[in-house]
Structures are given as C-alpha cells and as structure tokens.
Amino acid sequence: MGILRSFPVGRRVGALLGDKRASIGAITAVTLMVLCGVIGFGTDAAIWYSNAHRVQTMVEATALSTGRLLSNSGETTSTITAVAKNDAMLNGFSGSSDTISVAFGPSGKSPPNATTVTVTVKRTLPLLFSGLFFHATPSVMESATATASGPSVCIYVLGSGSQTLTVNSNFSLNAPNCQIDVASTASPAAIFDSGSTLTVQKTCIAGTATNNGATVGGLTTGCTTQANPYKGNLIDPTVGSCTVNSANYSGTVNLSPGTYCGNFNFNGSGTVNLASGLYIFNGTKWNINSGWTITGTGVTFYFVNSSSYVQFNSGVTVSLTAPTSGTYANVLMYEPDGLSTSSFAIDGTSSSGHALQGLVYLPSRNITFNSTYSGTADAFTLVVNSLIFDSNSPKTWSITPSGNSAGGTVVLTN
C-alpha cells in the first residue's frame, strides 16, 4: 500500500517564494527595454553629432568663399548673401531641414565697407529611436565668421629710381579695397601733388615720399612692399610667323587672335571688335585714334618686345576683359620679364564705365594715364616699372582688386 506524505502549508508557500524564475524574467524585460532605449538614444546622438560636424564644415567653407567678396566694392549685401546661399547648397545645405542667415560687421557696416561676414546655419535634426522619449524636435546651429585681413595690392610700381610714382594735381582714384606698393627706396620714390585724392586702404612706399597737400590713403614710408608675385609665373606663348601685317583701318573692324607684326593705324572713327583669344604683338604698335571704340571679351594681349604696345588716344572708348578660364585666365595684358625699359600712355574712357578687367603685367614699362582717362577697372591688378597719374578732375578712376591680387587674405576668426 502506498504511503501518502503531506507537507505543512507554510512550507509550500516558502518553496514558492523561493522560486526566482518569475522575478528574473521581469528584471530581464525591464533591462532589455532600458538597454534598447540606451542603444537607440546613442544611435540618434551619433547622427546628431555627425550633422553638427557637417553643418560646421558647411558654414566655415561658405564664410571663407563669401569673405573673399568683401574686397570687391561692386558687391552688395544682397549679392554676397545670394552667393553664400548658393555655396551652402554646394556644401550640403538642405532646403527641407536647414535655414541660413548672413550678417556683416563691424556692427552698422555693410558691403562694401564691411570687413567681416558671419554665416549661420540651423538644421532640424531627425528623431528616430529617441522619439519615444522626446516630444520636442532637436536642432543644431553653427556659425563661422570670416575676416578680410589687409587690402589687396592692386598697383605695383617696381622701378628703383626716384619719382617712380607721380600723382599730379587734381587726380582722383577710388579704390577703397586696394593697396599701392612702390618698391623704390629713393628719396623721393613718390610725389603726390596738391588737390589729388587716392582713396585706397594703404599706400606703401619703400623709400620716401613728397606730399604737397594730397589726400593719400594709408600713406606709409619706409615700409616693406610685397614681392612681385607674377615674376616667372606667367606662361610665355610660342611666337610663330606673322598672321597679320601692317594695316590701316576705318569703319567697323573685326579682328581675330593671331600674331600681329608692324604698325596698325585706326584712322578717323570706327569700332574694333576683338574675338576672344590671344593677340601676340611682335614689333607691333596699335595706334587707336580719337573717335574709336574698342571692345573685347576674353582677350589677352602679349607684347613680345619693348617696341610692341597699344596706344589708346584721347576720346577712345575702351572695354576689354580678360579670359575667366584657361591658360591666360585673368590676364589682360602682359610681357616677358627682363625687357628693356620703354614708355607709352593710356588715354581713353569707357561709356559703360568698365574699361579694363584683369591683370596688366608690364614690369618694364613706364606708363602714363593721361588726363582724359576715366572709367572702372574691375578685378584689376597693374604691374609697371614707373607710373604717372595725370589730372582727371572732375572724373574719378575706380579700381576693384582681382582675385589674384596679392596681399589681401580672408581668415576664419571664430
């Protein structure tokens, strides 16, 4: 017969309470929930950090690119802001999640008088796993400020003699973002006559200067001028046989790139249309008389020797711009280094207000801008042996620096 065993009730309850399997399951469930939350939040945090880094890179790149426009007096608040927005798009700006603002400084200053630009981008961040815990949408906001440090050197006067720069009475130059460098250490290296006004950021004279009552921006003597940054860095073309020889022109003249030899006279009045490309002057003079208009977009003049030049006489309307790309990008006129010294004058004006655009590299020339010259030289750098500015009152010659003008820098300052 079987044996029936019985246990006290209290003992059965104690056994049940001693079974830990149920409590471990509950703890495990809670732990997994917490662990999943931590992993999800960590994933979101990594995404947020990555976005913050991308936005910071975006604003720094955009601030630097737009800061370079501060030296161009033709730029306005709206044009620089438009460039900033376009550059931000190229660097990852998203119209669906990002907003951008552009501010200028110092306080109260706007282009072309501003010296700093601040780009701020705010980005709405995604809520993936952390949406279980947060209701507010997070965002990141990054800013970068670029400061234009120092003016660009727009005019280099390289000669070593006395009076390598002469500014005659009643000459007016408006180039607020430019510097003039005179390398001569002579006494005097430069003369500024009464009534003349040079609105520039700085005028650096290695030697001494005589100032007879002129207004000269940032005039400093005994200072260190910038070294010639173009010497040995421009590509001299191969000069082949002559493609166009001496000629007399009148009326409407359409000219093409090539090698020009001999003397060319533009008589009476007329219009010269230059096709884009390289014009090589080999022992050649173009004498363009009063009443002519000369225009050319994307053109470069190369003067092989000191006997080659273009003479723009009084009453000539000039509108010439350098190429924007290719071997001769931004180069309007140049010559090889080491030519014997020679002289010529530039007269003329521009009814459109934009006479010359690009680098004019003539390190062996003594250049005179006569009293009838006026207009605006955009994206301009002038390199000469010596320079004379004659009176142009009441007109004013305006210069904005080129992208390859040395001296001016743009740096991030925050």
What is residue 146's predicted lDDT score, i.e. its pLDDT?
85
User: What is d(CA 283, CA 233) in angstroms, rounded to the nearest whole number?
Assistant: 23
Crossing angle of the two packed helices 21-67 and 77-90, in degrees rounded to 10: 140
Count of Cβ atoms closer than 10 Å to residue 164 Cβ: 26
**At which residue do the structure tokens 């059965």 appear?**
12
pTM of the model: 0.66
**Alpha-carbon separation of residue 92 from 53, 123, 145 (angstroms):** 12, 11, 18
Q: What is the pLDDT of residues 110-146, one digit of tens each?
A: 886 777 899 999 998 876 655 555 566 788 899 999 8
SS3 call for 5: coil
**Alpha-carbon separation of residue 146 from 68, 149, 410, 411 (angstroms):** 9, 9, 6, 5
Distance of CA 343 to the CA centre of its chain: 31
Task: Tokens for 340, please give them.
Answer: 């014997």
What is residue 3's predicted lDDT score, i.e. its pLDDT?
41
Q: Which position has the higher pLDDT, 354 or 151? A: 151
What is residue 4's predicted lDDT score, i.e. its pLDDT?
42
What is residue 100's predicted lDDT score, i.e. its pLDDT?
94
Task: Tokens for 194, please give them.
Answer: 């009464």
Torsion of CA 158, 161, 167, 169, to 10 degrees: -170
User: What is d(CA 353, CA 276) in angstroms, rounded to the nearest whole number?
Assistant: 21
Q: Residue 181's closest CA among 165, 160, 198, 157? A: 157
Q: What is the pLDDT of residues 142-162, one digit of tens each?
A: 999 987 655 688 999 999 999
For residue 394, give the H/E element and its range. Answer: none
Triad 244, 249, 253: Cα angle to 5°: 80
Q: What is the pLDDT of residues 279-333, one digit of tens each?
A: 999 999 999 988 899 999 999 999 999 999 998 887 788 889 999 889 998 899 9
User: What is d(CA 220, CA 12) in angstroms, rounded to the nearest whole number?
Assistant: 104
Mean local confidence (pLDDT), 220-226 = 91
- Rounded to the nearest 5°, which phi and psi values hold at 246? -40, 140
Mean local confidence (pLDDT), 380-392 = 91
Q: What is the pLDDT of residues 32-79, one digit of tens each?
A: 555 555 555 566 677 767 888 888 988 988 988 888 777 665 678 998
DSSP string of 116-159, one letter each residue: EEEEEEEEEPP-SGGGGT--SPPEEEEEEEEEEES-EEEEEE--
Task: Tokens for 301, please give them.
Answer: 């003049």
What is residue 44's predicted lDDT score, i.e. its pLDDT?
65
For residue 270, name the pLDDT band (cuts at 50, 70, 90).
very high
